[in-house]
Structure 1
């Protein structure tokens, strides 16, 4: 078996959420625990930080990994989904997993796959844990896939648990109220393990307080400890002055992730680092500042208000749910351009009308679809968008849509590609 055969086996043999949606979601941890047992329980052999949340958990995970590796810790990073390369999901100090390891792992795990019949995600979680043990990481940053309580990653006992925020997403699986969704995310809170909540919300605060109390887990709300006192843009960098609420001591940070929504994620990261420092991790202010200037370079993060072309400006952003699109529209309002072109594709199981009604009506739209079965057909998306006042045409694939936008755009225009991780991942420019 070579690498292409191994990955093809994973993509075609196992139920995959990105391809088929809810049918691939396993609602308990049994399969993951059985896989881990088959491998000698690798999840017990490395330290970790466990991160859940509706939005921002990917950026937060990458920022934390960047800080830890800058501070000299051999750092694992497990995230999902990938944009272009399956190996993006598994990194150690920013380097993707070895192809040879993937092949060896798939060959070794096949008997367990035949017996347990796990999902694609369950296998990738087990692969990540096994890889981090083999690489001898000092600590790994583990991002949940979906939810928290029943997510396959929820077999680790971390140094600290993190929940970035709660918003509307995957309601068919996680619940139809914010408190129900918060309860699922709060499932990553472990007995006596500190938990940091990124954003305080009256609709969910009580849920976190109750679960933390039951688990006797120290609870901290990041946005009550620090706030952004000043901010500005400088050459596609976000420059922040962050103040500590209790003392008003201020520190300056320059982020290579320019989306204004990163201010919230930065506050969360700083609170997590504060607790790691208290626990004995040797992380200095210089480490934090150095890491945040080069998160993309250190960790390979892409697709977060990422400028990939100028004259016209072309921006990629993986925001795809109601809250993510709200953050994108806020960023649009902060941007300078002559006319806005939006290339967008959505998946069927999102609240399509809610997302569409948030988007600016004065933009020119290019409705498209990613090449996955879950994608909403471009003509249906165009019809539903026209019904709420968005004007544009349908294109059968992402790159045809992007090329048409590039052809029609003036030099001072902006082209935004958004709506789905899979849409962004298919852009070739």
Structure 2
């Protein structure tokens, strides 16, 4: 049963609680409901629209696009999900979080218009973001696809350009259990005759086939666009445009050049519509920020925050950790949802972590700390029989220029830690991520590092606690 409809003067949290109670299930894929309400709202979305889908790298690509477009002087709206701390993070207008009042005004308008059509939480909030961008007369909107593509609420939008960053195994209950099935779902954000950017170095054939079937203008990494670089700078090369002498993105991580190249390919494809000077690219890449993605905090011990929650992302995270330098011990605060491949994630990092602090996550999808600890012990024991270091992600292995890693700045040295013997690894459980992190800080020396990862629901509370500290 849904909660009573909040008043226009109710708090944002009251509205969000109402949205959570409104629909029969939290995840209910399909476009029929959101299309019907969109028609009632008379949404026209008269701005350039870029959608960004993929298994990993979506948030980073959106952040770089947003920063470059803002540096180019465009009024830019950005819609992403989920949020780390505050809901307002999901909807940004000209680089600033939307205010509570702005969001509530859109919620109230939707509620007055939808009639007896119920919307899921994500459908409702997607409409609110689009409505606000239309109201604020944006020049361009960057829209992150939530889950898959074909039936995701963001696919309501007929994008002027669509990007797929990567394709790997995740959300198998909804998207299928192979890269081909998942690629098919993601490819449906492409539109006939419009630029379709695919940054996965080994794209599933289903993406290529769907693009051909609808006659999208498919741009493939390694064929239509690419990058090269050394330790000081990098260059982008596209179909008809080259951007050289670029500083490395402010966002850390071995795959960020791949994400940056995808963003620049989209901007090249939209050149007749969007003019982006070289200086704006430089400024944008240097200013792009995204909390919780290989975020390294100042001070000691070193604290790394990363929302990696599938094996593909964990493999990249592992390589990034290797490239950070030497640390006597690595402490990992881990919290994961129960529909994720916990064993697969832990296996990518098992030889890099000395102490695991397993945290319970709330809600029906949250894994308890005890169950997570049991899964970690099992995965660590299994990995001890195959002690060779895991390779990085598929993107890293295929496209990484010589010398590039988690932080390609001069003076950063790579170090691959020796495998940790199973007997020396400790695993403990806690009621929540904040409690687990507090214990990790007690146990870590100033020369150690603490990794917090596994979910937005793990990183968010810890980041919020650090902000209050």
Question: Does the alignment reach a TM-score above 0.5?
Answer: yes
1:152 match: 153
Report matched runs for 1:164-179 at 5 Å: 164-179=165-180
Q: Distance between the aligned counterparts of 2:21 and 2:168, measured in 1?
A: 26
| Range that drifts further, 355-364 or 305-314 | 355-364
Distance 2:192 2:242 in 1: 32
2:8–2:108 contact (8 Å) kept in structure 1: no
1:5-404 equivalence runs, <5 A: 5-14=11-20, 23-42=25-44, 44-112=45-113, 115-201=116-202, 204=204, 206-232=205-231, 240-242=233-235, 244=237, 250-277=244-271, 279-296=272-289, 301-336=290-325, 337-361=327-351, 362-389=353-380, 391-404=426-439
Question: Structure 1 pair 248/47, CA: closer, same or farther in 2 (3 Å)?
Answer: closer
- Whole-angstrom distance in 1 between the partners of 2:192 and 2:228: 35
Q: Tell me which residue corresponds to 2:395.
A: none
1:424 and 1:16 map into 2 onto residues whose CA distance is: 27
Deviation sequence 1:106-154 (CA, Å, 0-9, x none): 2232244561111000001110111001100001001111000101011
Does the CA-based 8 Å contact 2:226-2:261 persist in structure 1? yes
Shift in alpha-carbon separation, 1:364–1:139, aligned structure 2, 3 A:
same
Q: Answer whether contact 1:149 1:186 (CA < 8 A) is retained.
A: yes
Task: Report the secondary structure of 1:128's partner residue.
Answer: helix
String of CA shifts for 1:164-192, please: whole Å, max 9, x gaps.
Answer: 11001001100111100000000111111
Would you say the 8 A contact 2:41–2:113 is kept in 1?
no
| Mapped partners of 1:283, 1:97: distance in 2 | 25
* Match of residue 406 from structure 1: 441
CA contact (8 A) 1:49 1:140 kept: yes
How many residue pairs get matched?
A: 411
- Contact between 2:22 and 2:119, CA under 8 Å: does it hold in 1? no
- Kept in 2: contact 1:16–1:24 (CA 8 A): no
Deviations 1:273-328, CA, capped at 9 Å, x for gaps: 22122x242111111011111112xxxx2111111242111011111111111111
User: Structure 1 CA distance, aligned partners of 2:304 and 2:128?
Assistant: 33
Residues 160 and 315 from structure 1, CA distance in 2 versus in 1: closer, same or farther, beyond 3 angstroms?
same
Aligned-residue offset at 1:388: 2.1
8 Å CA contact retained: 1:162, 1:195: yes
CA contact (8 A) 1:222 1:271 kept: no
Residue 4 of structure 1 deviates from its aligned partner by 5.8
Cα gap change, 1:101/1:250 in structure 2, threshold over 3 Å: closer, same or farther?
closer
State the 1:385 CA deviation: 0.8
Deviations 1:194-215 (A, max 9, x none): 100011315x0x2222111121
Secondary structure in structure 2 of the residue aligned to 1:48: strand
SS in 1 for 2:138: coil
Query: Which one is further off, 377-386 or 255-264?
Result: 255-264
Question: C-alpha displacement at 1:99, in angstroms?
Answer: 1.6
Kept in 2: contact 1:254–1:292 (CA 8 A): yes
For the aligned residues, what is the CA RMSD?
Answer: 2.2
Q: Secondary structure of the equivalent of 2:119?
A: coil
Q: Is the 8 A contact 2:149 2:187 kept in 1?
A: yes
Q: Could you state the TM-score of these two structures normalised by the residue count of structure 2?
A: 0.83
Instruction: Go from structure 1 to structure 2 and tell me whether the alpha carbon gap of 1:222 and 1:11 turns closer, same or farther (over 3 Å shift).
Output: farther
Q: 1:226 to 1:410 in 2, by over 3 A?
A: farther
User: Kindly tell me: are residues 177 and 140 of structure 1, through their superposed partners in 2, closer, same or farther at Cα, counting changes over 3 Å?
Assistant: same
Asked if the contact 1:228/1:240 (under 8 Å) is kept, the reply is: no
Contact 1:16 1:121 in 2 (8 A): no
Q: Render the CA deviation track for 1:369-401: whole Å, top value 9, x for unaligned.
A: 233332100000001111222632111111111
Contact 1:339–1:413 (CA under 8 A) maintained in structure 2? yes
Q: 2:22 touches 2:118 (CA, 8 Å); kept in 1?
A: no
| Aligned-partner Cα distance in 2 for 1:184–1:251 | 37
8 Å CA contact 2:243, 2:278 repeated in 1: no
Regions of 4+ moved over 6 Å: 245-249
Which residue in the other structure is 2:454 paired with? 419
Q: Which secondary structure state, in structure 1, belongs to the residue aligned with residue 304 of structure 2?
A: strand
Hey, what's the Cα distance between the residues in 1 that align with 2:236 and 2:114? 50
Q: TM-score, normalised by structure 1?
A: 0.90
Question: Closer, same or farther in 2 for the Cα pair 1:6/1:290, shift >3 Å?
Answer: closer
